[in-house]
Amino acid sequence: MIRSHAPVGSGACGDLRRSNSSRTRRNFMLSSSAILVGFHLSTAGKTARANPFQETIIGQGDFEYRAHHHWPQLPDRYSWQTTHNVAVDRAGRLYVIHEGREELKDHPTIFVFDDEGKFVKAFGSQFQGGGHGLEVRLEDNEEFLYVTGYQQVKSFAKMTLDGEVVWQQFAPVQSGKYAEGEADHPKKVWGRDRFMPTNFAFLPDGGFFLADGYGSFTIHRYDADGKWLSCFGGEGQGEGKFNTPHGLWIDGRTTQPTLVVTDRAHHTLQRFSLDGKYIDTLSGFGLPANVDVQGDLMLVPELVARVSILDKDNQVVAQLGEDVERISTDAKHSIRGNPKEWLDGKFVHPHDACFAANGDIFVAEWVASGRVTKLERV
């Protein structure tokens, strides 16, 4: 539901080990299908903001939000180059990663904004041309960024919130999944024997899972020090096999936490125990891209033009910004590539979404000219 009105008021395997690290998802609250791989979106300018005397409300029932499209604004010296993921630290700062263009070597990939959407700083040029996944994690009362890069970057890293690299790693060749030289000489070569990491899920013991969502379609498990331990999955149909395992997260809403994997091109979520054993499959999504959890709610951005919210029983309680029919029938992809055709209160291509501590939601869309939306809880 969308309504506009005048505003009121002013303006995976092995036993888990104990660790001192505490995990968090962005705000500390607790390949794609073939038709998508080839998208080359236009770099046309941004759409105009909504009338400042109007506001757009989206959602249903208890889940209504004011939609603020293009909420964070970059300084003129920078430009969005296909926005990908978002994360929030405990001070309420928003981190956004875009893919970037490989030829712009010195252009940053990660941008930081304050809680009013004002630009703070930028860094991460080493991921330019392949910037993808981004998470903020609390470890022993210190926050760190975890970043993935695909395309020619083919690596993942742990960084401080100021962009200093703690460690950076490449393809886990010890897994036996990758072509010779994939770790030592990464190139923009795709295939099931290539490393194209997409997103993280953090374990209670301080370790983490890493999805190779565009490469081997494998889920890798690492310990708290970033040492590779094991993997599972791979390309295929059915239980524990994937077609673009793009996003993942640990779902702690039940007594026994589970690993949720977005099996994107199968349009499903697969759930696993923390030792990698298959549990079940949730269907009914449209290219689900990632997951976030806050309280009893699970947030699922879907590339086919909506963001879904599920309750603790994994039933959909709201679908935000849905424009599925219009986007799905857009065979020439003109809507995705033409910001003039984007509609207020409607999403085009949600690639990632995360909760803020107060229940607001940030959404990053996979569009070349960039769009990050703040959904302010009504």
pLDDT tens over the chain, length 378 residues = 444 433 333 333 333 333 333 444 444 333 333 333 333 333 333 333 344 446 899 998 999 999 999 999 999 999 999 999 999 999 999 999 999 999 999 999 999 999 999 999 999 999 999 999 999 999 999 999 999 999 999 999 999 999 999 999 999 999 999 999 999 999 999 999 999 999 999 998 999 999 999 999 999 999 999 999 999 999 999 899 999 999 999 999 988 999 999 999 999 999 999 999 999 999 999 999 999 999 999 999 999 999 999 999 999 999 999 999 999 876 556 888 899 999 999 999 999 999 999 999 999 999 999 999 999 999
d(CA 265, CA 349): 14
- Asked if the structure places residue 123 within a domain, the reply is yes
d(CA 105, CA 257): 41
Q: Give the per-residue pLDDT at 332.
A: 56
HEC per residue, the chain: CEEEECCCCCCCCCCCCCCCCCCCCCCCCCCCCHHHHCCCCCCCCCCCCCCCCCEEEEEECCEEEEEECCCCCCCCCCCCCCEEEEEECCCCCEEEEECCCCCCCCCCCEEEECCCCCEEEEECHHHCCCEEEEEEEEECCEEEEEEEECCCCCEEEEEECCCCEEEEECCCHHHCCCCCCCCCCCCCCCCCCCCCCCEEEECCCCCEEEEECCCCCEEEEECCCCCEEEEEECECCCCCCECCEEEEEEECCCCCCEEEEEEHHHCEEEEECCCCCEEEEECCCCCECCCEEECCEEEEEECCCEEEEECCCCCEEEEECCCHHHHHCCCCCHHHHCHHHCCCCCCCCEEEEEECCCCCEEEEECCCCCEEEEEEEC
Percent of the chain surpassing pLDDT 90: 80
d(CA 130, CA 115): 27
Please state the separation of Cα 53 from the chain's center in Å: 32
Judge whether 75 and 118 are in contact, CB under 8 Å: no
How many CA atoms lie less than 13 Å away from 31 in the CB half-sphere?
22
User: What is the number of other CB atoms lying within 10 angstroms of the CB of residue 52?
Assistant: 8
At position 195, the amino acid (one-letter code) is: F
What is the residue whose two structure tokens read 């809507």?
335
Which among 23, 25, 43, 52 is positioned nearest to 338, based on CA atoms?
A: 43
- Asked if the structure places residue 21 within a domain, the reply is no
Report the number of distinct structural domains present in the chain.
Answer: 1
Q: Give the per-residue pLDDT at 328.
A: 85
Phi then psi for residue 198, to 5 deg, are -120, -50
**Structure tokens belonging to residue 146:** 């975890």
**131: CATH:** 2.120.10.30
d(CA 220, CA 214): 13
Q: Give the per-residue pLDDT at 337.
A: 87
At position 251, the amino acid (one-letter code) is: D
d(CA 84, CA 199): 11
- Asked if the structure places residue 13 within a domain, the reply is no
- Asked if the structure places residue 170 within a domain, the reply is yes
Strand 63-68 and strand 268-272: pairing?
unpaired
Residues 6+ apart with CB under 8 A from 36: 287, 303
- Asked if the structure places residue 56 within a domain, the reply is yes
d(CA 118, CA 26): 19
Q: Give the per-residue pLDDT at 172.
A: 98
List, for residues 35-81, the tens digit of each pLDDT value: 333 333 333 333 333 444 468 999 989 999 999 999 999 999 999 99
d(CA 332, CA 255): 46
| Alpha carbon distances (Å) from 326 to 35, 88, 98, 265, 342 | 16, 31, 25, 19, 11
For 226, the domain range is 31-377
- Asked if the structure places residue 240 within a domain, the reply is yes
